[in-house]
Structure 1
Amino acid sequence: MKYLVQIQGTQAAYDAMAGKPSPGNPAWSEADIAAMFAHMGAINDDLAETGELVDGNGLAEPARTRYVLSGPGGKPVITDGPYSETKEVLAGYWVLDCASLDRVTEIAARVVACPIPEGSTPSPIIIQPIQEAPPES
Structure 2
Amino acid sequence: MKYLVMIQGSQADYEAMRGQASGNSPAWSEKEIQAMFAFMGEVNNDLSESGEFVDGHGLAEPAQTRFVSLGEDGRPVVSDGPYSETKELLAGYWVLDCESLERVTEIAARIATCPGPEGAPVYPLVIRPILDEGGDL
Q: Read off the aligned partner of 2:58 and give its amino acid letter.
A: G
CA distance in 2, matches of 1:14, 1:88: 11
Q: Aligned ranges for residues 1-137 of structure 1 at < 5 Å?
A: 1-134=1-134
Shift of 1:123: 2.2
Shift of 1:131: 1.3
Shift of 1:30: 0.5
Runs of 4+ off more than 3 Å:
none
User: Please, which runs of 5 or more residues in structure 1 have no aligned partner?
Assistant: none
CA distance in 1, matches of 2:97, 2:79: 34
TM-score, normalised via structure 1 length: 0.95
Shift of 1:126: 0.3
Q: Read off the aligned partner of 1:62 and give its amino acid letter.
A: P
User: Please, which runs of 5 or more residues in structure 2 have no aligned partner?
Assistant: none
Where 1:73 maps in the other structure, the secondary structure is coil
CA distance in 2, matches of 1:24, 1:113: 19
Encode CA deviations 1:91-112: one digit per residue, 9 max, x unaligned. 0000000000010011001111
Q: Read off the aligned partner of 1:33 and give its amino acid letter.
A: I
Identity %: 64
Q: Read off the aligned partner of 1:67 and give its amino acid letter.
A: F
Indicate the RMSD between aligned Cα atoms, in angstroms: 1.0
TM-score, normalised via structure 2 length: 0.95
CA distance in 2, matches of 1:126, 1:62: 18
User: Number of paired residues?
Assistant: 135
Deviates more, 1:89-98 or 1:19-28: 19-28
Encode CA deviations 1:104-128: one digit per residue, 9 max, x unaligned. 0110011110001011111221001
